Amino acid sequence: MTYNSIYKDTLFKEKNIIVTGGGSGIGRCTAHELSSLGANVIIVGRKIEKLQKVSDEITEDGGKVDHFSCDIREEDSVSAMIKSISEKHGHIHGLVNNAGGQYPSPLASINQKGWETVVRTNLTGGFLVAREVYNQSMSKQGGSIVNIVADMWGGMPGMGHSGAARAGMVNFTQTAAIEWGVSGVRVNAIAPGWVATSGMDTYPPHMKPYLLSLKDAVPLKRLGTESEMSSVICFLLSEGANFISGDCIRIDGAASQGSRVWPLPKAKNSESYNGFHRATTPAVFQEQISQSTETKT
């Protein structure tokens, strides 16, 4: 089996595209789709084992991939990594700034170290990678950057450190689009809503009821798939989006547009798009899906 993308398989032929956080979740899925469309994908992350596993998957599927281990929060490491990538592969045509991470906690319980760690991961790290990609490559020949943020409009209760960082990344996206447009560099962002990824299995057991209820707050009454995030990322990287810059696309089934006073009845006619042939359902949702299937039969 191969990735079932909606795009032509030569869309990114001979293009070098970096995907940070490429060892799991949306980053892994995006790396697979980009590879299936002809890109030479360079995945970046901290854990070499995860990167090697995804690299092996892409190679097995017939794609081109390389990987680099790096802590994007460390300025010197990021600069050296981008230099190595440029020397080995040449011009960097695209960057997917996907790496991130957070943990659930109310604001009153977040200490300074926890706050700064999340901000460094979700904001500072993304800035450092984008800046180095621009200075070392894209400033000369142009390119496209897609930053991955989150649905933080109206606040992000329980994850205020991440919400603050993601809001900062949206503003960075807008500013970079203006400053770097002179070099032919487009900078955009996507804001995933609730997406069924392996990351949800890392949350503590007491959050399971909350995770299972998320779909009830979405007008489409379901969670998104990794493929539905990746397809928008690929569009923004492509020449079809050549006049889009400084924007942030919300991919959340209209959840961020909702009103608490407007009822959300059971939805119909909303099918998931899942082109990722290696996708797996997070364990936390498998029981729910099984029960739903039994009810239908």
User: What pTM does this model have?
Assistant: 0.92
Residue 297 is predicted with a pLDDT of: 46
**What is the rounded average pLDDT of the residues 17-38?**
97
pLDDT, tens digit (0-9, with 9 covering 90-100), for 200-219: 887 788 888 888 899 999 99
Confidence of residue 292 (pLDDT cuts 50, 70, 90): low
Estimate the crossing angle of helix 112-119 against helix 160-180, to 10 degrees. 30
Taken in order of first residue, the domains within the chain and their CATH numbers are 16-296 (3.40.50.720)
Residues 230-253 pLDDT 10s: 999 999 999 999 999 999 999 999
Residue with tokens 């029960």: 291
Q: Which residues pair with 80 in a beta bridge?
A: none
Q: What is the CA radius of gyration of the chain?
A: 19
pLDDT tens readout for residues 182-196: 999 999 999 999 999
Residue 3: CB atoms within 10 A of its CB come to 23
Euclidean distance between CA atoms 202 and 190, whole angstroms: 23
Strands 248-251 and 40-45: unpaired
Give residue 289's pLDDT. 55
> How remote is the C-alpha of 97 from its chain's centroid?
7
Residue 17 near residue 39, CB atoms below 8 Å: yes
Helices (H), 138-270: 139-141, 160-180, 208-213, 226-237
| Percent of the chain whose predicted confidence (pLDDT) is above 90 | 80
141 vs 144: CA distance, rounded Å: 11
pLDDT at 291: 52
What's the CA gap between 136 and 130, in Å, rounded? Answer: 10
Distance CA 284, CA 269 (A): 24
Provide φ and ψ at 103, rounded to 5°: -140, 150
